[in-house]
Amino acid sequence: MKIFLIAVAITVFAPCIWAQTEIEENAAQDTINIEQTVFDTLENRIDPKLLLIEMNNFLDEKRKMEDKFFLPYLIYKENFHLSSPFNLNMRITKNGFSEIPFATGNLQTVQNNRNIFKTIYKRGNIFYDSWEYSLPAALTETYMGLGDIDMNNIAISLMKGSIFGIPKFDMQLDFLGEKGKWLGGVDESSRNFHLHLSYDLDFAKIHFDNSIIDQTLPGEKDIYSYSFPFDSASNKEKEYSVIIKNKIIDIGFKYINNNYKIENKIHKERDLMQVLVQKKIQIPNHQLDISYEFVSEDITINNLSNPDTTLITRRDNSLNLLSVDHDSNILGFKIGNTGYYQDENNFQLNSELSKKIFLGFSIYGEYGTSSTEFYPNHISTDLQHQTKSKVGGGMLFNPSQIEIKVIMGQNSIEYCKNDYFEVLNTINMSITKNLGLKIKHWLRNGRVGNLIDEDDLYIRLSPRWQMQNLLELTYFLKHDNAIKIGLKHIYHSNYSYTLNDLEMIFENDTQNLDVYLKLQLTDQFEISVDAVNLTNNKIMFTNYDHPGIHFNFNVHWIFVN
């Protein structure tokens, strides 16, 4: 609650503080009306009507990005919290730098960053970039939520161009705080800060990012989640990066310090440095982004489970990454390739090919291959190897208000083959002048063949049926007011896995249903009430505890100065 009250105060007073950066130094007198001075200053620099149009265009772009049906994976979302039985087998980059996993999986990385950065999901890759907001008026966006079982959250984003009255000096400041018992046997809490500064030198643009993460997480968020499912972990990260972008070549440097501890069992520390060289080439019908990274990390792991025989493992790793993101349009064929190469045992490539036939109808094909080396547990010094591949094809149908994607193919993980069938539908249309309909539907069926070991990890984490649905009705009123009623549904079929240390098998399917009501008061203020888990499901994703039925009250406020 203390975090919540502090954050509310920041929300109320931050826009006023930053508004003062537009005041001329020689006008800093007690008798000046600050708000009028800011308005006069803005009026001299830019037409207020044009400024408002530019701000609304920026907000529209941000809303569209956030509204996209995020990832084609079985992910349950409640406010800013994400949970899934999968570690999300994908590559993540942030401001051009590859995210190198350490203590937590990719899903936690997504949870920490998805509300802060501009997000693009593309061919098994997530690209995060800071929002480049350069308008002189401050823009503050706030989400605040209270739950009936002490599930609280607040997210604040403050953006402003020309800070301290310096033209072309822009800032983005973010805070995410949340607390609750979404899964597992312990509370989860986060206090995440992010600062982005950029300065345009005309011939080059300098970007500086600083992130500070302080979290308490259930052991299930650990990258080796099955070893510590009922423990509590402390995760702290400090990250600093600088990247200089220009028309010739982009150069960047990043440093990360990680400190991670699971009660009195494992303590891990890491110092990581990355050097980035990146070049973007864009010509008609072709786009190519190519980058090189040198990565060096120093890792120390203390096994604290036996105080009499403490084991210390040290790992010094250095590696080179070559990354490519390519898109072309040749004779109506859209071709895309995204991937990276480290060595013959560590690489990933995802490719797409589509061809429009007629009236929004296209044929589609996809291919992916990857190879990864990993340590089987925290203190192991022997790397294990895993290879994956997929190939599939289908159709795309994309008229003005409907998107339909149907894919059939086959996954291969080591010796196991899995035939899959996937459907992704999105409908966003007007039923009448005042009534809008939004439907999002994702369905995946995986049929496992040539099964050798039914206890194999990859089989146990592959339920045959997975499904997510969203249905939202919107009644539009005057002056950008609206009433929204929504229904969210998630389902997966039976599957099981064994916790080796407990010699137990968990088997269940999950049927989870949420309902929400939103009242939109202009397009910059919205309040909502969520009824979560109406099916009173006690288990989510096999052994993951779920808090049962509960309610959340949320406020979303955009303050335009």
Tell me what pLDDT residue 38 has: 42
- Under 8 Å between Cβ of 453 and 427: no
Provide the pLDDT confidence category of residue 544 given band limits of 50, 70 and 90.
low
Residue 432 has pLDDT above 60, yes or no: yes
Instruction: Give the DSSP letter string of 432-443.
Output: SSSEEEEEEEEE
Over the chain, what is the mean pLDDT? 82
Q: What is the DSSP-derived secondary structure letter of residue 123?
A: T
Provide the pLDDT confidence category of residue 16 given band limits of 50, 70 and 90.
very low
Residues paired with 318 in a beta bridge: 296
Measured CA to CA, the distance from residue 241 to residue 494 in angstroms comes to 44
- What's the mean pLDDT in 139-162? 89
Residue 155 CB partners (closer than 8 Å, separation 6+)? 80, 115, 142, 143, 174, 175, 176, 177
- What's the mean pLDDT in 56-85? 79
Residue 39 has pLDDT above 70, yes or no: no
Residues in the chain: 561
Domain of 316, in residue numbers: 2-560
Tell me what pLDDT residue 147 has: 85
Most confident of 64-73, 207-216, 369-378, 391-400: 207-216
Which CATH number goes with the domain that contains 252?
2.40.170.20
What is the separation of C-alpha 452 from the centre of its chain, rounded to a whole number of angstroms?
A: 35
Tokens standing for 48? 């207020």
**pTM attached to this predicted model:** 0.83
Residue 17 has pLDDT above 60, yes or no: no
Q: What is the pLDDT of residues 317-338, one digit of tens each?
A: 899 999 999 999 998 899 999 9
Tell me what pLDDT residue 226 has: 67
Query: What total of structural domains would you count in the chain?
Result: 1
Q: Is the Cα torsion angle 546, 438, 528, 73 positive or negative in sign?
A: positive
Provide the pLDDT confidence category of residue 516 given band limits of 50, 70 and 90.
very high
- Under 8 Å between Cβ of 39 and 19: no
Percent of the chain at pLDDT > 70 equals: 83
Provide the pLDDT confidence category of residue 523 given band limits of 50, 70 and 90.
confident
Residue 243 has pLDDT above 90, yes or no: yes
Element (H, E) at 153: strand 152-160
Measured CA to CA, the distance from residue 435 to residue 412 in angstroms comes to 45
- Under 8 Å between Cβ of 420 and 411: yes
Provide the pLDDT confidence category of residue 32 given band limits of 50, 70 and 90.
very low
- Under 8 Å between Cβ of 108 and 55: no
- Under 8 Å between Cβ of 327 and 315: no
Residue 72 has pLDDT above 50, yes or no: yes
Tell me what pLDDT residue 308 has: 62
Rounded to 5°, the CA angle 282-287-289 comes to 95
Tell me what pLDDT residue 192 has: 94
Q: What would you measure as the largest C-alpha separation in the chain, in angstroms?
A: 81
CA neighbor of 185 nearest in space, from 216, 230, 234: 230
Residue 1 has pLDDT above 60, yes or no: no
Q: What is the pLDDT of residues 274-288, one digit of tens each?
A: 999 999 998 999 999
Question: Which residue shows structure tokens 């605040």?
Answer: 144
Q: What is the pLDDT of residues 107-135, one digit of tens each?
A: 899 999 988 898 888 888 999 998 888 88
Residue type, 139: L
Please tell me whether residue 230 adopts helix, strand or coil conformation: coil
Tell me what pLDDT residue 114 has: 86
Rounded to 5°, the CA angle 131-438-74 comes to 70
